[in-house]
Structure 1
Amino acid sequence: MEGGWPTGGRLLLCLAVSLLLQGKGDTFTINCSGFDQLGVDPAAFQAAFDRKTFRPVINYSNPTQVNISFTLSAILEVDAQLQLLTSFLWINLIWDNPFISWNPEECVGIQKLTVSAENLWIPDIFILEAMDVDRAPSGLSAYVNSEGRIRYDRPVRVTSICNLDIFYFPFDQQNCTFTFTSFLYTVDNMLLGMNKEVWEIADTSRDILQTQGEWEFLGINKATPRLLVGNSVYDRIIFYVAIRRRPRLYVINLLVPSSFLVAIDALSFYLPAESGNRAPFKITLLLGYNVFLLMMNDLLPASGSPLISVYFALCLSLMVLSLLETIFITYMLNLATTKPPPIPPWLHSLLLHCTSPMKCCPTAPQKGNKDLGLTPAHLPGLKEPVEFVGKVPSPQEAELNGSPGSARGQQEDKAQQQHLVSLWVQFSHMMDTLLFRLYLLFMATFVITVIVLWNT
């Protein structure tokens, strides 16, 4: 028709008028006539798809309500050295688009459609602790119902910062956080909510959690503090995910062997100190314990100072102290049998006191000053003192060898020398018993303290 609008101009005019009219209304009702013959007509949604660049609201002063939930489906890795948690999440976002709605009765009963996420406005919700590029697959779709409610689910592998406290390793429990917030929209433009209760998220995660490895999922809590950056206030939701390490591997491979070695070291005190076998045995145990620590080093955290490292250090210290005690007792016995010095009066009184039948260390009854001594049957790893000095000759032998007076003097000197040796040997045995009991007391105190700390 001459002077009329071209066909393309009419279409543009109709599109502009429709956009203006729909902006004046409360909703944008999609005309879906003919869906039964042609399926879903993409042209019916094209006007709504053209608005994907802008936040879908009729009045821009109203914020968009975005409801968030997620499902923890796997705990892939916990890096104690880098303080990172790698997990797999299914993130669920729900919001309303007032420009997409239709009457199901006019649209052959269609209540819900799947629409490519590329054609929709997607809120820029991200995890604040994430330290890696978003690895969500591309080409995802969203569900859109007849009332314009959009549900967008996306799987994502998240590597996030987690402040790990490894002091109680391997009986530690960690509390990692996932903070969901918007990068662009403040509270004036976007508000965050939840479409599920926290216990529902925790139960769903516990039911579908795929990993049965080192870490055990405990539960989830939440907080909703707002974030103030300069003059801008951002809404956010913080989820606290509690996980606990399964300690069985470390108990079997670390604690049990270490405890066995320390127990054998304590039992080695029952080896006779005079035999000379105790010190080499303890040195062998000490070397074996160092080899054990080197082999098990890969199982320990590479950073921090966990309580188990203190436990190993104290076990090693106990073994070193027991070796030093053995060296000291061996030196005392060697000194007593070679060149025993005169015994001090206070030590003589102490031996008299400790060998009294009424004391806590009962021995055989005394027979004058010559029979002073400790019966070593009650001492760990001891036997009856051997005769360190030659046999004392009888009076008949002394008369044959020389004058009776000199023979009697030599006999008294040898008896006094033997008595002095016996006193020093008994003192060495008494010190061995005392140090062994102190060793047991310190070891029991240390083990009980570590167990109490781990239980807390």
Structure 2
Amino acid sequence: MEGWWSTTGGFFLCLSASLVLQGRANTFTINCSGFDQQGVDPTVFQSVFNKKDFRPVTNFSIPTRINISFTLSAILEVDAQLQLLTSFLWLKLSWNHPFISWDPEECGDIKKLAITAENLWLPDIFIVESMDVDQTPDGLSAYVSNDGHVVYNKPMRVTSICNLDIFYFPFDQQNCTLTFSSFLYTEERMLLGMDKEVWEIMDDSRDRGRTKGEWELLGINKATPKMSVGTSLFDQIMFYVAIRRRPTLYVINLLVPSSFLVAIDALSFYLPAENENRAPFKMTLLLGYNVFLLNISDLLPATGTSLFSVYFALCLSLMVLSLLETIFITYLLHLATTQPPPMPRWLHSLLLRHASPRTCCPAVPQKENTSLGLISTHLSGLKEPGKLGGKELGPKEAELNGGTGLTRAQLADLWVQFGHMMDNLLFRIYLLFLATSVTTILVLWNT
């Protein structure tokens, strides 16, 4: 019986002592005797400062909750070649410190103090996508409330990886991620939460944005996936930052001049095909367009394929094809006026069937060409094959003109008409291809 009482008494004694000690351990009220008008006596916080190397908890099985928010003050640079986003953030971290508390009524009605961050435990929160060393300035302070609530703000210049898609440049939108996590504490030791709602972070970022540069902020969303490293799980918060490029600079400096040069090249088809300045004019335009492309190379993305690059390549190709068309028509007209070849019967019949006095650009001059010694006539007024002025041609003349019975002058005139018809047809194909291509690119940009 005595053994039973001794054992039971010892058990209750240990239990009572443990409860008393635990109650004392959870009481961390700071003595405010040093709080006076000359300042705060640092010795009252010395016991807290001595524990800054350890996570401030009364029970290590309880995780510390860190609340995160930030303000995106500026988008400094977007590097498409290196796939990097450089931004400036004001990061805010807050948590509860169980070893700090005081009574404001006994401490001169002081409810908040600023304490140097070097004297406090700070959570190891980092950005997973960051590609640069944290350059947080020294000497920052944290606000500590009388109930142990700690708020730590720090500025950050963040260079993070961002998967950039420049296909729709300069009307592109990019989605980058900023993932906050701990590299030391698993979810059993540290949990992450939100200090503000996402819409509040978005509004603060828009209101406090200091730059109105190339990029504008569209929206911010969040997700809370877990990060698995081996058998350990880490809590994290992932923010999706949507940004959009302001295209005004590129439209004025790139799109408008290029469109003007292509429009002038299309209008050059209205120059007479016999004009000797038509080909040199197109060559000058082509040379000017190449100089234009060299000057704008710094404004275009260094890597990847964008619709802008496709548009410029298309314009250059059309100008080259336009010059080749002019060379072909010039050669055809020169051949027709110097040594016209025999004309096949099917081509002669086609010209007689489709020729009309009303021709589209470029028009055939209906007056005497003294330099060629020819008189242009409408194809509908030509005589039947083998006859000229009511007289039949001899077999030798008919054989020399491909069996059509046309004189050399009529044959030359037919080839000239054929050259103008080809010029008109190729011009229409040029316009059709140009309109289709530009419309396709504009539709892709709008999507």
SS of 1:267's equivalent? Answer: helix
Does the 8 Å CA contact 1:216/1:244 hold for their aligned counterparts? yes
Structure 1 position 426 matched with structure 2 position 417: yes
Does the 8 Å CA contact 1:23/1:58 hold for their aligned counterparts? no
Residue 407 of structure 2: aligned partner: 416
- Alpha-carbon distance, 1:165 to partner: 1.1
Encode CA deviations 1:65-105: one digit per residue, 9 max, x unaligned. Answer: 00000011111111111111111110000001111111111
Structure 2 Cα separation of the partners of residues 140 and 38 of structure 1: 22
Does the 8 Å CA contact 2:85/2:159 hold for their aligned counterparts? yes
Q: TM-score, normalised by structure 1?
A: 0.84
Does the 8 Å CA contact 1:116/1:140 hold for their aligned counterparts? yes
Matched residues, number:
405
SS of 1:147's equivalent? Answer: coil
Please identify runs of 4+ aligned residues in structure 1 that moved more than 4 A. 20-24, 408-415
CA spacing shift, 1:55–1:424, aligned 2, 3 Å: same
SS of 2:192's equivalent? Answer: strand
Q: TM-score, normalised by structure 2?
A: 0.86
Encode CA deviations 1:255-281: one digit per residue, 9 max, x unaligned. Answer: 100000000000000111112221111
CA spacing shift, 1:382–1:294, aligned 2, 3 Å: farther
Structure 2 Cα separation of the partners of residues 100 and 174 of structure 1: 44
Structure 1 Cα separation of the partners of residues 277 and 151 of structure 2: 77
Structure 1 Cα separation of the partners of residues 297 and 278 of structure 2: 29
Structure 2 Cα separation of the partners of residues 40 and 347 of structure 1: 106
- Alpha-carbon distance, 1:34 to partner: 4.7
Residue 284 of structure 1: aligned partner: 284
Identity %: 70
SS of 1:275's equivalent? Answer: coil
- Alpha-carbon distance, 1:26 to partner: 2.5
Residue 438 of structure 1: aligned partner: 429
The within-5 A match list for 1:372-387 is 376=359, 378-384=360-366, 386-387=368-369
Structure 2 Cα separation of the partners of residues 163 and 379 of structure 1: 50
Instruction: Tell me which amino acid in the other structure corresponds to 1:239.
Output: F
Structure 2 Cα separation of the partners of residues 147 and 294 of structure 1: 65
Q: Select 1:447's aligned residue among 421, 424, 438.
A: 438
Structure 1 Cα separation of the partners of residues 197 and 374 of structure 2: 91
Does the 8 Å CA contact 1:271/1:382 hold for their aligned counterparts? no
Encode CA deviations 1:231-256: one digit per residue, 9 max, x unaligned. Answer: 01011111111111111111111110
Structure 2 Cα separation of the partners of residues 347 and 277 of structure 1: 29
- Alpha-carbon distance, 1:27 to partner: 3.6
- Alpha-carbon distance, 1:302 to partner: 1.0
- Alpha-carbon distance, 1:22 to partner: 7.3
- Alpha-carbon distance, 1:41 to partner: 2.1
Structure 1 position 150 matched with structure 2 position 141: no
Instruction: Tell me which amino acid in the other structure corresponds to 1:425.
Output: V
Does the 8 Å CA contact 2:73/2:88 hold for their aligned counterparts? yes
CA spacing shift, 1:415–1:345, aligned 2, 3 Å: closer
Encode CA deviations 1:187-243: one digit per residue, 9 max, x unaligned. Answer: 010000001001100100101111111111222111111101110101111111111
Instruction: Tell me which amino acid in the other structure corresponds to 2:427.
Output: F
Residue 223 of structure 2: aligned partner: 223
Does the 8 Å CA contact 2:363/2:420 hold for their aligned counterparts? no
Residue 73 of structure 1: aligned partner: 73
Does the 8 Å CA contact 2:100/2:146 hold for their aligned counterparts? yes
The within-5 A match list for 1:26-175 is 26-36=26-36, 39-175=39-175
- Alpha-carbon distance, 1:415 to partner: 6.4
Encode CA deviations 1:128-187: one digit per residue, 9 max, x unaligned. Answer: 111111111101110110111100000111111111111111111111111100010010
Does the 8 Å CA contact 1:385/1:422 hold for their aligned counterparts? no
CA spacing shift, 1:344–1:237, aligned 2, 3 Å: same
- Alpha-carbon distance, 1:21 to partner: 5.2
Structure 2 Cα separation of the partners of residues 64 and 390 of structure 1: 100
Structure 2 Cα separation of the partners of residues 235 and 110 of structure 1: 35
Encode CA deviations 1:273-300: one digit per residue, 9 max, x unaligned. Answer: 1122211111110001001101111111
